[in-house]
A and B are shown apart, each in its own frame.
Chain A
Amino acid sequence: MPIEIDIAHVARLARLDLSQEELEGYKAQLGAILDHAAKVQSLEGDPVVEASHPLRFENAFRDDVVRPSLDRDEVLAQAPGAVDGFFAAPPAMEAG
C-alpha cells in the first residue's frame, strides 16, 4: 500500500522551515518507515485500549496550595529575548 504524504503540509504543521530538497529526502524516508509502521494494521482482534500507564491509577491531583515557583528573573535569563519581565518575540501576525 503506497502511502501518500503531503510533506510540505506536514512540515508546516510541525513549524519546520525546510528546503525543497530536504523535504524530498524526508518524504522518501518517511515513506519507508511508514510502510514498516503500517504492519500495525495486521493486528488481529480489537483489544480494549486503556490508559497507557501500567499501574492504572487514578488521575493525580495536588492540594490547591500556593507554593514558591521558579524565580522569574532566573527563568527569563535563559530566554533569547526578554523585556520588562516578559518573553519578547516578533508580532504573531503581520501588520495590516
Chain B
Amino acid sequence: MSTENGSLFDLTIVEAGARLRSGETTAVELLEAVLDRAHRTEAQLHAYLTLDREGAREAAEQADTQLAGGNDLGPLHGIPMALKDNMCTRGLETTAASQILSGYHPPYDATVVSRLRSGGAVIVGKTNLDEFAMGSSTENSAYGPSFNPWDISRVPGGSSGGSAAAVSAGSAFAALGSDTGGSIRQPASLTGIVGLKPTYGTVSRYGLIAFASSLDQIGPLTRSVGDAALVLEAIWGHDPLDSTSYSGGYPDPSADLAKGVEGLRVGVVREFAGEGYEPAVEEATAKTLDALSGAGARVVEVSLPTVDIALSAYYLVAPAEASSNLARFDGIRYGLRVDGSTTEELMARTRAQGFGPEVTRRILLGTYALSAGYYDAFYGQAQRVRAALREEFDAAYGQVDVLVSPTSPTVAFRAGDKVDDPLSMYLTDICTNPLNLVGHPGISVPVGLDEQGLPVGFQVMAPALGETVMFQVAAEVERLAEFTQRPVLAEVAG
C-alpha cells in the first residue's frame, strides 16, 4: 500500500497540516495523492458520485499560494475533503442520489460548504448516499451502491456510506455527512473511522437537502477524534439562514482532548445489548469499558427503558417530516419532469418515476401517519415518546457525565442481505436514532476488529452542548483502543 508519497493519503488532518506548514508537502500533493487513491479504488468502492478534479486542483493551487504568502486560513487549509451529495454546491451537480434531482446544479453553496471553503479546505467531490439519506447501507442510491473498503462484498453502512468509504480508503482526508437516525455514526462504525453527530441546531442545515428537519444534523467523518473536533469547529456556529440554528455560546470541543477520564462517570445503557447484538460487538464494548475503568472512569449501568420504543417513534416522525419536505420535488422548479395534461398529473407522474422504492415507501408511510384520523395515534404519540425519552436522558445525565453503547449491533453486513426487508434494515439504527429524537450529540470511535477483520465502533453520547466532555471521553477511548489498522484494498485502476 505504501507509495512513493509514503501513503500521504492515509495521514490525519493534524499530520497533513503539520507537513504542509513545515514545507514537507503541498496542498497540490495532498490532493494528487487523494485523486490517485480514488482512481485506484473507485471501481471497487463507488464512494463518489462526482469527482471535481478541476475545481479541486484550482482550490489546492490557491491554498498553496495563500500559505506561501503567509495567509493561513486554519487547520483545514489545503486539506482535501469530500461532501455527501445532499449538500448544495454552487455549480456542481447535487443529486441526493435521486433520479428526481439528476442534473441539478445548485445556484448556491450550503453554509457548511461556504465555511469549509473559507477555511481553506479543498472540495474533492460529492459522495454517494442512500437516496435522500433514507437507508442504512447506501444500497438505496439511484446511481448504484457503495461498498466497504474492509470487504468489498459488504456494505459501508449508510446513509453517508460514500463519505465513510472515501475517508476509510483514503480517497478523502475527511468528509461531511448528515445524520438523521445514525447516518454518520453507523457508517463510520462499519468502516473503522470516527463519525460525529453534533448537538441539533449547532451546524447550519441551510443548503442541506432536507429529509427530516427536526432530526437532521450535519457532521464530520474523519480518521481520528482530534480531526473530528477540528472539522466541527470549522463548520458549526450560528447561521441566520437556518431558523433552528443555535445563537448562544458554543463549547470548545478540543479543550479536554488530552485530559483523560479520571473521575468521570460513564453510564452504560443497559438496553443496548442482548438479542440482536453480535458477540464480537459485545466483546469489543466490554473490553472498552474495562479499559475506561482502568483509566480511572467510574463505569455504571444506566437504564433508559423508553429506548425500546424509540425506533418505533423514529419511523413515524422521520417519514412524516420526509413526506412534507419531499413535497417540493414536483417537476416544476428543478430536476426531473414527466409530462402530464394537468399540473397534478405531471407532479404524480414525475414523483412516481423520480423517487426510488425506499423514498416512495417513506413518503407513503409519513403521509399515512399524518392523515386525518391517524395523526394522534401515530405522529402525536411518537412525539410523546420523544418527550419521555428526553426526560429519561435528562435524568441519566443527572447521574453520569456521558453515556456509552455500541454504535451498531452488528459489523458490516453483506450487500443485498437486508434490501428486501425494510424493517430489518431499520433495526440497524437502534443504538443511534434515540439521539436524533432528543437532539443530543454522539460520536462513534473504532475500537477493534472482529475475527473476520471487520471494524467495531463504540458510541459516546453527551447532553446537548456537551461536546467538550464527549470529545474528552472519545479521545481516551481512541488512545486505549490503539486502533491503527487501515483497510487493505487491492488497487485496481478505475
Contact = CB atoms under 8 A, between A and B. Distances in A.
Contact of B342 (A14, A60, A92): A92
Contacts of A90: 339-343, 345-346
B197 interface: no
Interface in A29-60: 29-30, 32-34, 36-43, 45-50, 52-55, 57, 59-60
A15 B342 CA distance: 12
A36 to B, nearest CB: 6
A54 B368 contact: no
Contacts of B327: 15
Contacts of B108: 70
B107 interface: yes
Given A53-B244, A55-B201, A15 B330 contact: yes
Given A17-B351, A37-B316, A11 B464 contact: no
A53 B450 CA distance: 38
B68 interface: no
B59 interface: no
A66 interface: no
Interface of A is mostly: loop
Given A10-B368, A29-B422, A47-B391, A41 B248 contact: no
Given A30-B365, A78-B333, A18 B360 contact: yes
B315 interface: yes
A41 B380 CA distance: 10
Contacts of A60: 240, 243-245, 247
B386 interface: yes
Nearest to B383: A49
B11 interface: no
Contacts, number: 180
A84 interface: no
B277 interface: no
Interface residues of B, number: 77
Nearest to B341: A90
Nearest to A41: B381
B99 to A, nearest CB: 13
Interface stretch (B154-162, B306-314, B451-459): B306-314
A21 interface: no
A40 B381 contact: yes
A93 interface: yes
B383 A93 contact: no
B188 to A, nearest CB: 22
A50 B346 CA distance: 39
Contact of B371 (A10, A36, A87): A10
B334 interface: yes
B104 A78 contact: yes
A2 to B, nearest CB: 14
B390 A54 contact: yes
Interface string B254-291: 00000000000000000000000000000000000000
B51 interface: no
A59 B364 CA distance: 30
B18 to A, nearest CB: 36
B471 interface: no
B487 interface: no
A95 to B, nearest CB: 10
B384 interface: yes
A45 to B, nearest CB: 7
A76 to B, nearest CB: 9
Nearest to B381: A40
A18 B201 CA distance: 37
B349 A40 contact: no
B375 interface: no
A85 interface: no
Given A26-B364, A43-B381, A53-B214, A93 B386 contact: no
Most chain B CB neighbours (cut-off 10 Å) among A34, A40, A80? A40
B343 to A, nearest CB: 5
12 contacts: A16-B355, A26-B360, A36-B311, A37-B382, A40-B381, A43-B384, A45-B388, A78-B104, A78-B105, A78-B107, A91-B342, A93-B342
Given A16-B348, A37-B313, 6 more contacts: A13-B371, A33-B361, A33-B426, A36-B315, A37-B382, A52-B383
